[in-house]
Amino acid sequence: MHTLLDPAILFFVFGVLAGMLRSNLQIPAPISRFLSLYLLMALGLKGGFALAHSGLTLEVAGTLGIAVLLAMVVPLLGYPLLRRLLNGYDATALAATYGSVSAVTFITTIQFLENQQIAYGGHMAAAMALMESPAIIMAVLMANRLRQQAGQTSGGHTPTPLGKILHESFTDGAQLLLLGAMLIGLLTGEAGKAAMAPFSVDLFKGMLAFFLLDMGLMTARNLGGLKGKSPWLLAYAILAPLAHAALALGLASLAGASAGNAALLMALAASASYIAVPAVLREAIPEASPSLYFGMSLGLTFPFNILLGIPLYVGVAQAVLGR
Helix (H) or strand (E) holding 155: none
Confidence bin at 36 (pLDDT 50/70/90)? confident
Q: Is the pLDDT of residue 126 over 90?
A: no
Residue 29 included in any domain:
no
pLDDT, residue 172, reads 67
Q: Is the pLDDT of residue 283 over 80?
A: no
Q: Is the pLDDT of residue 9 over 80?
A: yes
d(CA 264, CA 249): 10
pLDDT in tens, 213-249: 998 898 888 787 777 788 999 999 999 999 999 999 9
Residue 32 included in any domain:
no
Contacts of 201 (CB under 8 A, 6+ apart): 42, 46
Is residue 267 within 8 A of residue 127, CB to CB? The reply is no
Closest CA to 304 of 163, 98, 124, 91: 98
Residue 24 included in any domain:
no
pLDDT, residue 173, reads 72
Q: Is the pLDDT of residue 167 over 80?
A: no
Classified as helix, coil or strand, 17 is helix
Residue 34 included in any domain:
no
CA dihedral for 305, 120, 314, 321, sign (positive or negative): positive
Confidence bin at 82 (pLDDT 50/70/90)? very high
Which of 124-138, 215-229, 236-250, 275-289 holds the top average pLDDT?
236-250
d(CA 74, CA 167): 23
Q: What percent of the chain has pLDDT over 70?
A: 91
Beta strands in the chain (DSSP E): none
Total number of domains in the chain: 1
Residue 201 included in any domain:
yes
pLDDT, residue 98, reads 95
b/e 62-91 (16+ beta carbons within 10 angstroms → b): bbbebbeebbebbbebbbebbeeebebbbb
pLDDT, residue 69, reads 95
pLDDT, residue 80, reads 95
d(CA 87, CA 72): 21
Residue 169 included in any domain:
yes
Contacts of 254 (CB under 8 A, 6+ apart): none
d(CA 254, CA 151): 44
Q: Is the pLDDT of residue 275 over 50?
A: yes
Q: Is the pLDDT of residue 171 over 70?
A: no
The distance between the two most distant Cα atoms of the chain, rounded to a whole number of Å, is 60
User: Mean pLDDT across the chain, nearest whole number?
Assistant: 86
Q: Which domain holds residue 315?
A: 3-16+39-321
d(CA 217, CA 31): 14
CATH of the domain at 305: 1.20.1530.20
Cα–Cα distances in Å, from 9 out to 82, 217, 318? 31, 13, 22
Residue 33 included in any domain:
no
pLDDT, residue 70, reads 95
